[in-house]
Amino acid sequence: MKKILATFAVSGLITMAGTTAQAADYVGSDQCFQCHQEKYNDWQSSGHPWKLRKVDKARSAKLPLPPGWSWDDLSYVIGGAKQKARYIDNEGYIVTTAKDGSEAKTQYNLQDGSWSFYHKGEKKPYKCGPCHMTAYNKEGNQDGLPGMIGTWAEDGIGCEECHGPGSEHVAKPAATNIAINTSVASCGKCHQRGGMGPQPPAKGGFIRHHEQINELMAGAHKDLSCIECHDPHKKAILAKNNCVECHSDIAEKYAKNIHSQQGTTCVQCHMPKVTKNAIKVSQFEGDVRTHIMKLNTDPKVSMFTTVKKDGKKSTYAEGFVTLDFACLSCHGSRDREWASKYGTNFHGK
Ligand code: HEC
Ligand code: HEC
Ligand code: HEC
Ligand code: HEC
Ligand code: HEC
Ligand code: HEC
Ligand code: HEC
Ligand code: HEC
């Protein structure tokens, strides 16, 4: 592992009783396994470690390859754990054409097995910054490949991206020589677009993806931290099922509703797939659940607003979700007026 002077550890260690800040090294997530097996296994089945994989690891993932390309022509796979996969050639550039240079769709979408264009024909360096790697440093080129912009200690989001460098802790385990950061910003630095502020950028009738903190800040739960609802080591579908803990009054009433009796959960109405990562399923269904959660029953209001900034038009989502998204994915033959009629005062006064 590379030796990196850890600015992370400095900020992390300052808060720890009795320790002076000093540089530790990144040792890699595999070093944590022997003592934290449960955490390690949870993390393995979440998306975080799979964000960027060398081909020798990715080969076994049964992902199809873009036209003409073989595993020997590739160096890395980006994602491919949940929604989509993109591929990196042996020079470190993201694949945007068929192997022979002709036009081709090069992004594989896991949910429906379709392919999409990705910056077709462009020479596209992998400069996906600090959001996909552990201990990202913008200087240099990983593996000496010209298309790989920056260097990092471990591919994907390893234990030490969140806990800081672990060499001292591994040598002499103690609670005081490893960092824990529970702030919303520690997750939001990657789960954001255009900053961590409340305006979620939108495009084509959907919120764009990796904007969980923007959505959270715009919506019903401005003051909650991500880990209030997520174990950060576990995948999203294992989010704590805790709406009821804070909204017990609503939950009690909801238990008598036909939806509850049919097994519809809070999340299905309040976190509809208003956000698009790889594909849209229909006009009102993308492929990522939103964190806005507040529903607006007005049948006329628009979820999106376009503002002019520095002569450029930008579209953002408002801090609410309209009922076309919340209801029509299940009630496809109905419309917003219908939804509004039944949705207003949905849980009673
Ligand atoms: C040799 C065993 C060992 C290894 C290897 C190890 N840990 Fe630990 N870790 C411990 C023990 C023991 C504790 C509990 C210390 C205590 O409660 O006093 C701990 C505690 C922690 C904590 C909680 C700290 C707190 O403030 O409560 C974190 C986070 C952590 N380890 C992360 C890691 C990471 C990341 C790695 C890999 C870089 C790692 N550990 C490797 C033994 C180990
Ligand atoms: C995405 C960020 C992130 C990653 C990756 C991550 N952790 Fe954590 N970890 C946290 C946060 C945040 C907490 C505090 C959780 C809380 O207080 O509810 C935590 C808590 C812990 C704790 C102590 C508290 C407990 O729940 O027992 C240990 C031990 C730990 N992590 C080990 C690991 C190991 C080992 C890995 C890698 C296999 C890892 N973590 C990967 C963010 C992360
Ligand atoms: C600001 C941080 C950030 C940047 C910059 C970023 N991503 Fe991501 N990316 C994320 C997050 C967070 C997710 C998962 C959450 C979501 O989709 O809402 C994600 C998801 C993905 C996925 C889907 C992973 C899977 O397993 O389904 C791919 C592929 C991907 N990004 C590729 C890229 C590429 C290529 C670039 C650079 C051109 C890039 N990203 C830049 C944060 C970022
Ligand atoms: C009020 C509870 C709550 C808070 C706060 C919260 N989440 Fe979630 N999150 C959930 C639930 C519930 C799901 C959906 C789980 C499912 O699909 O069943 C989810 C899903 C996700 C997903 C996957 C979305 C998808 O459909 O692909 C990501 C990524 C995510 N959360 C990240 C975050 C981040 C980052 C934060 C903090 C900025 C955060 N969450 C705050 C409850 C919460
Ligand atoms: C270094 C950037 C980074 C940090 C820090 C980070 N994430 Fe992520 N997160 C990602 C990326 C990228 C993905 C997409 C991984 C994939 O699916 O391939 C992701 C995926 C997720 C998912 C969906 C995983 C799944 O299996 O469905 C959840 C939930 C999540 N992150 C929560 C958190 C929480 C909570 C924190 C803070 C404790 C956090 N993340 C910190 C970049 C980050
Ligand atoms: C840790 C506590 C907590 C959890 C967990 C939580 N909420 Fe909330 N929720 C709140 C608080 C606090 C408010 C703000 C109340 C207010 O504005 O009066 C709120 C507001 C809301 C609102 C908006 C009310 C409005 O119209 O202004 C909705 C909708 C909502 N929550 C749904 C959910 C759902 C769905 C979940 C589960 C995925 C959930 N909440 C989980 C605490 C929580
Ligand atoms: C996850 C799917 C799902 C979502 C989302 C959903 N519903 Fe339903 N809804 C159902 C099911 C299932 C039934 C029961 C149908 C039956 O038994 O005939 C139902 C029944 C109803 C009924 C009574 C039967 C009827 O068709 O007249 C109304 C009214 C209704 N839903 C309104 C709404 C509204 C308003 C929303 C959005 C706020 C919504 N639903 C969101 C699945 C859903
Ligand atoms: C079938 C769709 C549906 C389901 C499922 C659902 N809600 Fe709602 N919820 C709504 C609608 C629609 C509104 C908006 C009502 C209005 O503004 O008049 C709402 C409003 C709310 C509010 C805002 C306060 C209020 O009384 O209007 C909270 C909080 C809330 N829901 C929490 C929950 C929780 C917690 C669950 C699960 C126990 C849940 N909801 C399940 C449709 C649903």
58-83 residue pLDDT tens: 999 889 999 999 999 999 999 999 99
- Find out whether 85 and 110 touch, Cβ atoms under 8 Å: yes
Question: Which residue has the CA at smallest separation from atom 40 of ligand 3?
Answer: 128
Which atom of ligand 3 is least distant from the CA of 81? 26
Specify the residue for token string 């909650």: 224
- Find the 247 Cα to ligand 8 centroid distance in Å: 10
Ligand 3 pocket test, candidate residues 77, 131, 155, most atoms within 8 A of CB = 131
Chain mean position to CA 71: 26
Of 198, 221, 217, 222, the residue nearest 316 (C-alpha): 198
Residue 21 has what pLDDT?
A: 43
d(CA 286, CA 275): 5
Ligand 7 pocket test, candidate residues 296, 330, 334, most atoms within 8 A of CB = 330
Residue 310 has what pLDDT?
A: 87
159 ligand 2 Cβ < 6 A: yes
228 ligand 4 Cβ < 6 A: yes
- Find out whether 328 and 335 touch, Cβ atoms under 8 Å: yes
Residue 7 has what pLDDT?
A: 39
- Find the 264 Cα to ligand 3 centroid distance in Å: 30
Which atom of ligand 8 is least distant from the CA of 326? 2
d(CA 260, CA 257): 5
Quote the Cα angle for 188-190-192, to 5°. 65
338 ligand 2 Cβ < 6 A: no
d(CA 217, CA 319): 8
Ligand 2 pocket test, candidate residues 29, 52, 162, most atoms within 8 A of CB = 162
Residue 39 has what pLDDT?
A: 98
Residue 144 has what pLDDT?
A: 97
Residue length of the chain? 349
Exposed/middle/buried for residue 124 (C-beta within 10 Å: 0-12, 13-18, 19+): middle
191 ligand 3 Cβ < 6 A: yes
Residue 149 has what pLDDT?
A: 97
129 ligand 3 Cβ < 6 A: yes
Q: Which pLDDT tens digit goes with each residue over 125-147?
A: 999 989 999 999 999 999 999 99
Residue 157 has what pLDDT?
A: 97
293 ligand 4 Cβ < 6 A: no
Intervals of the chain under pLDDT 50 = 1-21
The token pair at 147 is 């298309």
- Find the 110 Cα to ligand 4 centroid distance in Å: 20
Residue 335 has what pLDDT?
A: 96
Residue 12 has what pLDDT?
A: 35
167 ligand 5 Cβ < 6 A: no
- Find out whether 316 and 199 touch, Cβ atoms under 8 Å: yes
- Find the 255 Cα to ligand 2 centroid distance in Å: 34
169 ligand 2 Cβ < 6 A: no
The token pair at 19 is 């320790």
271 ligand 4 Cβ < 6 A: yes
328 ligand 7 Cβ < 6 A: no
Which atom of ligand 8 is least distant from the CA of 323? 12
Question: Which residue has the CA at smallest separation from atom 36 of ligand 1?
Answer: 32
Question: Which residue has the CA at smallest separation from atom 19 of ligand 7?
Answer: 259
- Find the 267 Cα to ligand 7 centroid distance in Å: 14
- Find the 349 Cα to ligand 3 centroid distance in Å: 41
